[in-house]
Chain A
C-alpha cells in the first residue's frame, strides 16, 4: 500500500542536540540563526591544520620569526574563513513556494526564495542524496532556487528535510543547516502505457444544443484558415476550383464516459489506477465529459482542467492516508 514517504531519521547533530530542524511552511519566512547553523572542518580543513602544524614545528625548530609570522597569518586566515563561511549562511531568510502536482516519475519542483542582507556566494541546496544545486544570492534581489525532487510513488510528496550548505570562501569548513519543509504536493499515478478505449457510459444530446467541435460527426464545410490540418482540406472541392474548404466535425460532447475502478479487469490496484490516469489524460485532451468512480469516492461528470485535476487528485490519493 503506498503511503506518504517515510520520514528519514534526524541527522546525528540534531539527534545529539535533541533539536528538530526548524520547519518552513509555504508563505512563512525563516531566518537562519546560530540556533540552527552547524559548522565543522572539512578534509581540506584538516589538511590545512596539518600544514600549519608542520610550519609551526619548523618555526620553533629553526627559531625563525618569519615562519612564525607566516604560520600565524595562515592561522588567522583559517579563523577568518571559518567566520566567513558561517556568515554565509547566517541571516539568510528563506521563503517557500509549493510545487505543482506532478505525474509520478517526473520531478516535482519546489521553489525556495533566499534573501540576504548582502551578496552571498557559493551556497548549495540539496535533499537526501540528491545532487546539490549551487547558487549565489545577489545583494539586491532574492535568489530563487529550484529544488527538483524525484517522484517514485503516487500520493503525497513531502520534500521533508532539505540541507542548505556552503564551504565558501576557502573550503576549509562545511557549514550547514537543515530545514524541514512543511509543504506537500500530490503525485498522480503514471499513466499506463497502453490504454484501450475508455468505456462509454452513453450518448446524449448536449443540453445547450451546441455540438462543439470534435472528430466524429461531419457537420459541414467552412473556408480554410491558416493552421488547419491539411487532412481536413477537401481536396476535391479545391480541384473543382472552389477554393480551400475544410471539413468540420462535431458532436463529441454528446458522449460521456464513466471511468469506474471496479469495472476494470486488472487484479492490481496500481495498474487499475494507472489505466484510469491514462484515460483521464486522454479524455481531457479530447475535451470529453467524464466522471470517475473509485471505491468510496466519486468525481461527478465534468470537463476542463479543474475536472482533470479533481480526477487526478482522487487517483493520486486513493487509499492514501494524510
Chain B
C-alpha cells in the first residue's frame, strides 16, 4: 500500500552516488573479508536503491525494508553462526548501514550514514592495522567528510570540488591536534571490559604443544613471527636458533611443556645464572614479537636474561606473565654457547621417559646403538648417520601417521618435516638412555638491510632436540640437518613447497630482478617495522619513555591530563589564529604580488613607506642597497607595466610572478 509521505526527501542523484561510493569505501575491508555472497547481495541492494532514485521513485516501503533487513540479518547469522563477536558484529554494522542507505528518506539519515561510515573505519582496525589500512583510513575519512560538507551546504546539494577541498583543509588542520592527543592522551594498560571471545582469533604462531603436522602447517605462512635488532652484528646463520616452548612430556604422539612449580620460576637475570653458565660473547637483542595469544616469548638460543613482565623456566624458556595479545618489545641477552650449570636430570626424570607402548623396533634400534657406542656422543652421531644414510626424505606433506607415529615414521614412511625428525630423534635418545627433549622455535631469519634487523616468519618455524651430556649439559642436536643441511642456511620457499610438498629453499637472488624484488620486499618490511614501532606499539610504556625524553619522568594520570591541557590551549589558539586571521583582501593578483615583494623587502631592512610610489621606492633601493636594485627593478618595472600600460602584454602577470619569486 502506497501512502503519501509528505516529509519524504529525494536526495539529489549526485549526492546519493557520492554517499554510496564513500560508504563502499568505508566498508571495503569488511566487504572484501566476508563471504562473497554477502558482499554481492549488499552491492545489489545499493544498486537497487540507486536505480529507484534514478527513476525518481521513493525509497521502498517500511514493510519491504523490514523484510529485507530480517533476511539479511538471518543470512549473517547463518554465515557466522552468531551475532556477538568481532566478525559478525562488523558484518552486521556494514549490512545495517547499507539498509539505512536503502531507507534514506530524510537529510538526517544521510548524516547518520556518515557517522556509521566513520564507525566502520574504527571497526576495520580491530582486524588489521597495516600500513595499507592506515593509508586507506586517510582516503576514506576524506571522502566521508567531503560528503558531510555537501550535506551541510544548504545552497549546493551536489558534491563539488569546493566541498572536497574544504574537507581536506579540515583534516589537515586536525593533524596537530591528532598528534598532540595521540602522544599525550593517557594510555591505560589492559581492556576496560572483557573482549569478545574471538577478539584474538586468527593469530598464528607456535603453540605450547606439538603433534605431527603442526609445524608444517606454519611453514605455509609468510606472516612475520618477530623482528630482531642486535646491538652488534647479527649472529651467523648456523646460530640463528630461536628458542620457544621446550617440550618434555610425551605420550608418543603429542608433546607438551612440562609443568613448572611457582618456586622454580627464575624471575630475574640473577636467578638465570643458577641454571646456565654463560660462555663466549653475549648477544644483545631487541625483539618485536607479533601477538600470538600464547605466553611464551622467543629469544635467541639460549636466553640468559629476564625482561620485565616475564620469567624464565628452568629449561630456559622465556614466559610472559600475560598472554601476548599485543605486539611486544623486549630486550634479551643470549649466549649461543653455555656450559653446564644445573645438575643432571634424575633417574626418573621425564626427560628420560618414553611411553610404555613405544614400538619395540624403536627400542631395539636405540639399544643396539647404545650397545655399540662407547660414548653418548657416539650414540648421537650414530642416530644422525642413520637419518642421513637411510632413505629419509624431508617434506612438507608427509603421509598421515597412525597410532604409533614414531615407529611408523622411522621404519615405514620415512617422510617427514622437522617435527617428525625431532620427535623421533628425542625418543630414540631416551630409548638409548640419554635424557632428551624437543625444543620448538624458529630457525633462521631474513636480514633486512634497509632496517638493519632480522625478520623471522612463521615459515621459519622449526623443531630440534636437546640431549643431556654429562660434561656439557644440554646440547642442541638438530636431526633435520642430517637430512637437509641446507635448511640452516636458507629459508623455506613458501609458495612452491605448498603444491608439490617438496621443500624448496630460497636461493639468495641469483638473477637481477630477483634481487630487486627482494630488496623491495625488504624496504617495505622496514617501513612496516617502523610503522609498528612508532604508530601501532605506542602504548603506556612508550608514552612513559616519550615523556621522560621530554623531561617529564613519572608523570601521573593527572599530570598527563594537565600537560595535555597546557599544550592544548596554545595549539587551539594557534589554530584559531590561523583560521580567523584577516585575509588578504586585494583581489588584483598584481597588487598581491607587489605586497609579497614589499614584505620581502622588509626582510632586507627596507620598509616601503605609505604613499611611496614604486618608482620612488626603486630610487631609494638604488641609493641604500644597490645590490638589491637589479632584482627589485625587474619587479617594479613589470608591476608598472601591468598597472599603467593600457593593454599589458598577456604574459605580464606571469613575468611579475617570476620576478617576485626570484627576489629573495
Contact = CB atoms under 8 A, between A and B. Distances in A.
A47 to B, nearest CB: 7
Interface of B: 111-112, 115, 118-119, 121-123, 125-126, 129, 133-134, 137, 141, 145, 148-149, 151-155, 166, 169-171, 173-178, 181-182, 185, 187-193, 195, 199, 326, 535-539, 572, 575-576, 579-580, 582-583, 585, 587
Contacts of B579: 80, 83-84, 87
A313 interface: no
A263 interface: no
Given A61-B193, A77-B174, 19 more contacts: A60-B191, A62-B195, A64-B129, A65-B538, A66-B536, A67-B122, A67-B126, A69-B178, A69-B535, A75-B181, A76-B177, A77-B170, A79-B174, A79-B177, A121-B153, A122-B152, A122-B154, A168-B153, A169-B149
A79 B122 contact: no
A68 interface: yes
9 contacts: A58-B123, A61-B193, A63-B539, A66-B133, A73-B171, A74-B141, A76-B181, A87-B579, A169-B149
Contact of A74 (B118, B176, B535): B118
Interface in A123-166: 124, 134-136, 139-140
Residue picked from B173, B191, B195, most chain A C-beta under 10 Å: B173
Interface string A77-119: 1011101101100110000000000000000000000000110
Contacts, number: 157
Interface string A35-65: 0000000001001100100110111111111
Contacts of A79: 174, 177, 572, 575
Nearest to A51: B115
Given A70-B118, A83-B579, A117-B582, A65 B536 contact: yes
A70 B137 contact: yes
Contact of B587 (A57, A122, A140): A140
Contacts of B536: 65-66
A171 B170 CA distance: 14
Contacts of A68: 181-182, 185
Interface residues of chain A: helix, strand, loop or mixed (majority): helix
A272 interface: no
A134 B174 CA distance: 28
B141 A70 contact: yes
A72 B587 contact: no
A170 interface: yes
A51 B152 contact: no
Interface residues of A, number: 51
Q: Which residue, A65, A74, A139, has most C-beta atoms of chain B within 10 A? A: A65
Contacts of B177: 72, 75-76, 79
Contacts of A62: 126, 191, 195, 199
A51 B175 contact: no
Given A55-B118, A55-B119, A63-B326, A76 B176 contact: yes
A167 interface: yes
A86 B149 CA distance: 16
A73 B171 CA distance: 7
B154 A134 contact: yes
A121 B39 CA distance: 39
Given A47-B115, A83-B576, A167-B152, A63 B173 contact: no
Contacts of B123: 58
